[in-house]
Amino acid sequence: MRGDVRSAILMLLREGPMHGYQLMEAIAERSEGRWRPSPGAVYPTLSQLQDEGVITLTAAGGRRDAALTDQGRELVDAEADGWSDPFTAAAAGGDDAVDLRGEMGRLHEAVRVVGRSGTPAQRSAVAALLTDARRQVYLVLAGDPAGAPETGDSTTPADEKD
């Protein structure tokens, strides 16, 4: 699950200076582990915020600590009430939360197995399935009920072994 890295960083820095790794860990902790932004998301955001004059980055102990500037503090104080809480948004859902990343990982592994050890006919059949799945995902996103799968248990016998 992903959230708004920018607002998450600004909200955390309102509490005090942190370096990038601390920010990533704090986001993961506050979202109950559902959202773990990568360095590729956090560090460019820190650079952008520095360019905007909203934070300063200061070398300290081999790391670069980020802290809000006065301008950044004013921005957060003025606008944070209008932001959705990126931590609860990422952790929301409880039993209703859908782990799309996990499902993609399991699908990816199954496709890799077919790619490595499947016959040409099996690889062709899986390619057709993937093409159709991509089309159906876009139909669901577009609000077309024809693209939505029937509700129910979507586990397969292979999933039940895990």
Question: Which of 56, 78, 96 is a domain's end point?
Answer: 96
User: What is the chain's pLDDT, residue by residue, as a tens digit (162 residues)?
Assistant: 345 899 999 999 999 999 999 999 999 898 888 888 889 999 999 999 999 999 999 998 889 999 999 999 999 999 888 887 777 755 444 445 566 767 887 888 899 999 999 999 999 999 999 999 988 888 887 887 666 666 544 444 444 444
Q: Judge contact between 87 and 3, C-beta under 8 A.
A: yes
pLDDT of residue 120: 95
pLDDT of residue 130: 92
Residue 29 sits in the same domain as residue 104: no
Residue 50 sits in the same domain as residue 91: yes
Question: Which of 96, 116, 138 is a domain's end point?
Answer: 96
Count structural domains, the chain.
2
Range of 32's domain? 5-96
Structural domain contains residue 139: yes
> Is the Cα dihedral 153, 137, 102, 7 positive or negative?
negative
Residue 49 sits in the same domain as residue 15: yes
